């Protein structure tokens, strides 16, 4: 497939690795010189570690054995066994980053898969589909309620879905202590070994985990019965997948790996494994913090001039932080990082100005990730905790047609919402600028993409999300010109099952949105609902198709609204006359009629 790349190095290293050339087994005690199929950010380090992710945000990586293996012998599905040594490193030892998985899959096309909680394997639409044809053992370090995760440190067995058949807290049963359960922390930065065994006759999979240099425990950690002959075809690929999220930097490594069909996986030579990079300990960080504090205090005593400079700097980076915000820590950005990312919110970083704030482009200092920062005035303390909770909740939205909301920062009288940046800017400049004409194919694809995103917000996520400000300037275009709905600063959540007349449905104290996109009933009763979003989406479709703004001062009073103007042409049988004249008739009439 086009997205995969072959990494072929000198076969001389195979002797050092002890790799068997038999078709039904292999072993890697380190990965220098191996021939693996890699994609995404995956690679092999100079010292022979298989690095699935490299610490960059919102990325995925895959590594698979280069050849497919035959899992079916005539009518019998073969047993198999795998063992691997892994390590997960996070910049914050007490905070979870996303995890990784051992995978057996019918194919290698993961181009549509999402990072973060989807582990680079599936996406919103494909999750749970039998057509996925994959089995995975997840080492999950983030709790996702939509997948029914038991906690943020567990091992699970997945079939075609990230909702595990069976899962259990990460750990092992210690044979040397009467089988007592010992907890393990997957993001500890320590190497651990995993054994995966599938009995084809009994149709049962067992997964066992232990620290490195601890013999395989007798009792498996988690087991599940499932006939994999109904999932996998004659041949399948074996390998690994890992992904990162939008706030915490993490790295996923495999140090050694072995596999066997109808036989135990060969033993990995622990003595030949590369060593994981070391992670600074919490005690060392605390000592460093104390030392820096003492040094800073000494520096402050050198003179009033230094004090003056530091006070000014403190005011520049000052932000509000209350006790209740601790639980949202991973989703909160420091103002200092955002200030530096945007070079002090300079005008040359300004992406646009909306009714609720200015948006700036920036690059985070450490991760080098491109972001968009929206500065929103917010003087009221009332409801602030609930608002921040909703912002953090919206950060868990995962859809290819939604701009990822990464987190927030709070200062006195101001909120800063942090999004992933879209390289091609907003759609409105392509619709209403003479030098950026979009052809019909791109316009129709953008319309369908935003429709898919709205279905996810209204029906497919764990809560109903009302966007409340759908318009062309809030639709951003990625590097492939796909439309992605952004600016969730006004969005509100409520539970599924709240009807349009229910008292539990959120009601605004004043109408929010943009003139021309606001549904008539919203102006009368102030009650936002999925239907008011759909009205705005309808206006958006007309704007994209006609190439005209929702309100025009060039048309007569009764047709100043784009809706009325299109309705007039529809009643007169001239509906297609409303299609953007700049397209010069180059469009699909059936598609345009469907949209209009």
Chain-centre distance of CA 237, in angstroms? 24
Max Cα distance, the chain (Å): 87
76-77/180-183 β-pairing: unpaired
Please answer whether residues 268 and 260 qualify as being in contact, where contact means their C-beta atoms are separated by less than 8 angstroms: no
Residue 537 Rama label (left phi>0; alpha psi -120 to 50; beta): alpha
Residue (of 23, 5, 139) closest to 84 by Cα position? 139
Q: Is the Cβ–Cβ distance between 276 and 86 less than 8 Å? A: no
Residue 424 CB partners (closer than 8 Å, separation 6+): 476, 477, 478, 479, 481
* 478 Cα distance to chain centroid: 15
35-71 burial, b if ≥16 CB within 10 A, otherwise e?
ebbbbbbbbbeeebbbbbbbbbbbbbbbbbbeebbeb
577 catalytic residue (yes or no)? no
Answer whether 182's CB lies under 8 Å from 85's CB. no
Round to whole Å and give the CA distance between 256 and 266.
11
Helix, strand and coil content of the chain, in percent to the nearest 5, comes to: 30, 30, 45
* Alpha helices for 227-360 (secondary structure H): 282-300, 304-317, 335-341
**Under 8 Å between Cβ of 153 and 185:** yes
Exposure pattern of 345-371 as b/e (b: 16+ CB <10 Å)?
beeebebbebebbbbbbbebeebebeb
Pick the catalytic residue from 469, 487, 533, 580.
469
Nearest to 375 by CA among 393, 360, 389: 360
> What gap in Å lies between CA 276 and CA 117, rounded to an integer?
24
Report CA 523 to chain centroid distance, whole Å.
36
Q: Which residues are annotated as a binding site?
A: 374
How far is residue 155's CA from residue 138's CA, in Å, rounded to a whole number?
A: 6
Euclidean distance between CA atoms 492 and 142, whole angstroms: 24
As to burial, measured by CB atoms within 10 angstroms (0-12 exposed, 13-18 middle, 19+ buried), residue 322 is exposed
Burial of 123 (0-12, 13-18, 19+ CB in 10 A): middle
Annotated binding site for ATP: 374
Q: Closest Cα partner for 473 from 371, 418, 397, 544?
A: 544
Question: How is residue 261 annotated by DSSP?
Answer: E
* CA distances in angstroms from 141 to 124, 271, 419, 543, listed in the order given: 19, 28, 23, 43
Catalytic site positions: 469
């Amino acid at each position: 497939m086009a997205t995969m790349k072959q990494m072929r190095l000198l076969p001389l290293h195979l002797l050092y690795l002890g790799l068997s050339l038999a078709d039904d087994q292999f072993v890697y005690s380190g990965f220098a010189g191996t021939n693996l199929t890699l994609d995404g950010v995956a690679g092999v380090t100079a010292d022979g570690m298989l690095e699935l992710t490299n610490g960059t945000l919102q990325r995925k990586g895959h590594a698979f054995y280069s050849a497919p293996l035959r899992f079916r012998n005539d009518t019998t599905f073969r047993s198999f066994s795998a063992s691997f040594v892994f390590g997960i490193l996070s910049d914050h030892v007490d905070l979870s980053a996303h995890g990784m998985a051992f995978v057996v899959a019918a194919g290698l096309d993961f181009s549509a898969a999402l990072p973060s909680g989807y582990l680079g394997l599936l996406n919103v639409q494909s999750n749970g589909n039998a057509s996925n044809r994959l089995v995975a053992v997840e080492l999950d370090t983030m709790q996702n309620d939509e997948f029914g995760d038991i906690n943020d440190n567990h091992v699970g067995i997945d079939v075609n879905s990230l909702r595990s058949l069976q899962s259990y807290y990460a750990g092992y049963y210690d044979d040397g202590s009467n089988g007592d359960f010992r907890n393990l922390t997957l993001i500890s930065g320590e190497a651990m070994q995993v054994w995966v065994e599938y009995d084809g006759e009994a149709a049962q999979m067992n997964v066992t985990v232990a620290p490195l240099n601890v013999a395989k425990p007798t009792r498996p950690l988690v087991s599940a019965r499932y006939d994999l002959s109904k999932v996998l075809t004659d041949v399948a690929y074996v390998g690994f997948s890992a992904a990162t999220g939008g706030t915490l930097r993490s790295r996923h490594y495999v140090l050694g790996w072995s596999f066997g069909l109808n036989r135990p996986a060969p033993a990995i030579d622990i003595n030949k494994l590369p060593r994981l990079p070391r992670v600074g300990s919490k005690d060392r960080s605390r000592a460093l913090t104390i030392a820096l504090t003492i040094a800073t205090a000494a520096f402050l005593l050198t003179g009033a001039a230094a004090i003056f400079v530091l006070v000014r700097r403190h005011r520049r980076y000052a932000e509000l932080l209350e006790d209740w915000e601790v639980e949202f820590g991973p989703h909160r950005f420091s103002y200092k990082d955002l200030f530096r990312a945007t070079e002090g919110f300079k005008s040359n970083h300004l992406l646009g100005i909306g009714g609720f704030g200015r948006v700036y482009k920036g690059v985070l200092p450490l991760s080098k990730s491109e972001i968009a920062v929206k500065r929103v005035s917010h003087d009221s303390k009332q409801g602030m905790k609930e608002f921040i909770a909703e912002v953090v909740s919206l950060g868990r939205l995962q859809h290819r047609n939604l701009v990822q909301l990464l987190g927030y920062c709070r200062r006195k009288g101001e909120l800063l919402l942090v999004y992933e940046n879209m390289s091609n800017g907003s759609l409105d400049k392509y619709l209403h600028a003479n030098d950026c004409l979009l052809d019909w194919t791109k316009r129709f694809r953008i319309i369908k993409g935003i429709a898919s995103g709205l279905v996810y917000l209204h029906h497919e996520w764990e809560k109903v999300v009302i966007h409340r400000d759908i318009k062309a300037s809030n639709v951003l275009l990625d590097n492939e010109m796909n439309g992605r709905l952004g600016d969730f600063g006004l969005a509100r959540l409520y539970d599924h099952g709240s009807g349009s007349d229910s008292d539990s449905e959120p009601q605004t104290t004043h109408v929010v949105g943009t003139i021309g996109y606001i549904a008539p009933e919203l102006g009368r009763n102030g009650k936002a609902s999925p239907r008011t979003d759909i009205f705005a989406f309808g206006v958006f479709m007309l704007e994209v198709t006609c190439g005209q703004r929702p309100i025009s001062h060039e048309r007569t009073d009764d047709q100043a609204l784009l809706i009325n103007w299109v309705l007039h042409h529809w009643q007169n049988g001239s509906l297609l006359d409303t299609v953007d004249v700049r397209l010069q008739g180059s469009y699909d009439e059936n598609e345009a009629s469907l949209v209009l």
